[in-house]
Structure 1
Amino acid sequence: MPHLPHPTPEQLRRDPLPLRGRTALVTGASRCGGIGHAVARRLVAYGASVYLHHHVPHDAAMPWGADRPEDVVASVRGAAPDPQQAQVLHGPGDLTEPEGPARLLAEAADALGGRVDVLVANHALSGDDGPLDAIDQQMLDRHWAVDTRSVILLVQAYARLRAELPPRTPGGRVVMMTSGQDMAGGMPGEVAYALQKGALASATRTLATSLADLAVTVNTVNPGPVDTDYLTGEAYDTVASMFPGGRWGMPDDPARLIAWLATDEAEWITGNVIDSEGGFRR
């Protein structure tokens, strides 16, 4: 079997806008301190048009609070090579509703000109969890609805939309998020969350195989502990000391990986759960 030719020198030179002409939906982008916001900024900086999903009531009920969607959009647009020309759109969505994921995907595609190339399912339910002795049916069901069911339904809607495009249209990418629940020690204080995020990690290979004929890659990223303004004081310092670099992960740390997975350079990477933990020592 003949070998593929080596890339030309021109092909080896990285395009500063590798996502030029591509479109992306990033879920869970209600705050400027979150990973979703950081991912969107990277995608826009690489030339993509981006639709930001937010569910402000969720973050507004958390200790860290929510930002105004307009402020998140302005920050993302500011990362574009030409902020005046950047297409950064946004809209709300309650993904616990059975029809919510398909409706959101359709709204994003319509806003982005009929196509979504990159789906980053970043949203998750915070709080409302506990150790094994404290969880109950309602906790499990709520985390299942947000952290797992809605993601699978989003991927389903995305796949159906991609199937309408010409065969093997390039640029199809799905990135899901997990939380290192399979690492040493697990997450015994957040059983409901760990179970549902673990389900996504386990489904990664299956989804990648399911979407392979559409030329879509599917990967899941474990960002590790990331400073998204949810921890302070001595506990914050203790976690920081568990990183060889002496600092927490910042939102842009996993965002760089996710943005790279969205580019053509990562077209051979699929079906993987990728840890981006900075050497975190559990």
Structure 2
Amino acid sequence: MTRTTTPTAAGTASFDFRGRVYLVTGASRRVGIGAGIARQLAAAGADLVLQSWSPHDAGQPWGEDSEGPASIAAECEAMGATVTQIAADFADPLAPAQVMQQAVSAHGHVDGVVANHARGMAGTLETIDAAELDLSFAVNARATALLVKEFAAQHDGRPGGRVVLFTSGQHRGGMPAELPYVLSKGAIQQMTASLAAHLAPRLITVNCVNPGPTDTGWADEAGERWVRERMPQGRWGRPDDAANLVLWLLSDQAQWVCGQTIDSEGGFSR
């Protein structure tokens, strides 16, 4: 098939990822950041491996998007992308290696990883317990580190090796009602510089994105209003806002950006 890049509303036509394959984790909900990244990468010519784990969403207030993974894949395929879908629970310590093995088996090579998945769980100092802390660290921090390990092991040195991690805003202000999430997401931010230093000699860049409050359907009316009032531009972040930055970090233009945590949150004032 002859691939041509297709501009999207967010303007991805300047990126050309034809011939490259990216693993995007957490692509389970059509309104999510993972879906936005997948669409933009497909529009720019990339082939995709999309990991999802819908049972996590089923246990959250926003609920499961049961048709989400298949629908996201179909959208990307309609733009010409070859898409491999993998349902995998990153609470399983073997899952990161299995996901990467399936990705390489299907596509031959993976050029970059966008570790967008997250276990989001509320909990204050008074209510947290060891089980939830262990699970949040396993899914958010441990799985991310192991995915990077498996990605680096299969990377053959070709140009364009990229890792984009996702943290939250815990380094910019307190989030005391979400301690399991905050602690595990903070670990991701802290691992970024060390992973970047280790992989930079192999011309693999590692960077981390804090997308700020993003409208993916998780906030109630009061929460939505509280955030919007603190956004100088008068709106929440959108999945495409995060995707715009991710695509640039994956591109050849960003080769010299390495080991950074980038806050892309519209001037959010806590």
Q: TM-score, normalised by structure 2?
A: 0.91
1:240 aligns with 2:228: yes
**Secondary structure at 2:205 match in 1:** strand
For the aligned residue pairs, the C-alpha RMSD in angstroms reads 1.4
Mark the runs of 5 or more structure 2 residues left unpaired by the alignment: 1-11
Preserved contact between residue 112 and residue 151 of structure 2 (Cα < 8 Å): no
Against the structure 1 CA distance between its residues 73 and 102, is the aligned structure 2 distance closer, same or farther, given a 3 Å change threshold?
Answer: same
How far the C-alpha of 1:212 sits from its partner, in A, is 1.3
Counterpart CA distance in 2 for 1:137 and 1:43 is: 38
Aligned to 1:174: 163
Pairing 1:278–2:263 present? no
Alignment equivalent of 1:49, drawn from 47, 50, 73 = 47
1:52-201 alignment runs, 5 A limit? 52-64=50-62, 65-68=64-67, 69-78=69-78, 83=79, 85-112=80-107, 114-127=108-121, 129-162=122-155, 165=156, 168-184=157-173, 186-201=174-189
Letter in 1 for 2:167: T
2:4 aligns with: none
- How many residues matched? 257
- In structure 2, distance between residues paired with 1:35 and 1:76: 14
Residue 248 of structure 1 deviates from its aligned partner by 0.4
SS across alignment from 2:50:
strand
Residue in 1 that maps onto 2:3: none
Cα offset, 1:109, TM superposition: 1.6
The answer to whether the aligner puts 1:25 opposite 2:18 as a matched pair is no
CA apart distance, 1:71: 1.1
Task: Tell me the CA shift for residue 96 of structure 1.
Answer: 1.1
CA distance in 2, matches of 1:37, 1:62: 18
Note closer, same or farther for the CA distance 1:234–1:98 as it changes in structure 2 (3 Å cut): closer
TM-superposed deviation, 1:33: 0.7
Structure 1 residues 18-27 or 85-94, which shifts more? 85-94
Shift of 1:43: 1.1
2:36 aligned partner: 38
Please state how far the C-alpha of 1:213 moved relative to its aligned partner: 2.2
Secondary structure in 2 matching 1:182: coil
Q: Could you tell me how far 1:42 is from its partner in structure 2?
A: 1.2
TM superposition shift of 1:88: 1.9
Return the alpha-carbon distance in structure 2 between the equivalents of residues 232 and 268 of structure 1: 40
Q: TM-score, normalised by structure 1?
A: 0.88
Deviation of 1:241 (Å): 1.2
Q: Is the 8 A contact 2:15 2:251 kept in 1?
A: no
1:235-267 deviations in Å (ceiling 9; x for gaps)? 212211110111100111111000110000001
1:215-234 matches, within 5 Å, as: 215-234=203-222
- Structure 2 contact 30–72 (Cα < 8 Å) conserved: yes
- Return 5+ residue gaps in structure 1 as ranges: 1-13
1:8-48 per-position Cα deviation (integer Å, ceiling 9, x unaligned): xxxxxx97442111110000101101100001111111111
**CA deviation profile, 1:39-71 (whole Å, cap 9, x unmatched):** 111111111101110111111222322232211
Q: Give the share of equivalent positions with the same residue, in percent.
A: 45
Do the aligned partners of 2:213 and 2:237 also contact (CA within 8 Å) in 1?
A: yes
> How far off is 1:99 after superposition?
0.9
> 1:181 Cα shift?
0.3
